[in-house]
Structure 1
Amino acid sequence: MPFSSLRDPSDLARAYAALEAAWREIKNSVPEAQRENARLDLAYLVADLAPLALDEDDLRENVLHHFRQRTAVHVT
């Protein structure tokens, strides 16, 4: 469970909101066969980066940055 380490309800809400926002931004660029795994990877990134984020937008931006870096490494 990606968000099992988050205990505070406001942290959970922020994490879910950031996950949904990030997913909306990248979903169409992920091949359909890989979407389930990509969304799970994104969720784990959200959970890992949530304690460091200033707010939901900061969290979303950091998650997208890390996700795109990982994707670029796997593609090249």
Structure 2
Amino acid sequence: MDELLDAFIRKIKDGTYPPGSQLPSGRALADEYDVSQSTISRAVARLREQGVLVGRPGRGVFVAESAQG
């Protein structure tokens, strides 16, 4: 899971997922990283706890505006 977290952080830093942007769906991320959707969910939950991502009910998961790029 640490590799997945690092991959998300790299994509935020390189501008692939800039602050305020919506992440792709869990299914799309699972396919991209060749992991289960539950692994994606756990990674997203950890990054939400760290304040890197924010959930917006009914809309999805977004990169926090305060995320460092």
After TM superposition, is the score higher than 0.5? no
Bigger helix share: 1
Bigger strand share: 2
TM-score normalised over the length of structure 1? 0.28
TM-score normalised over the length of structure 2? 0.30
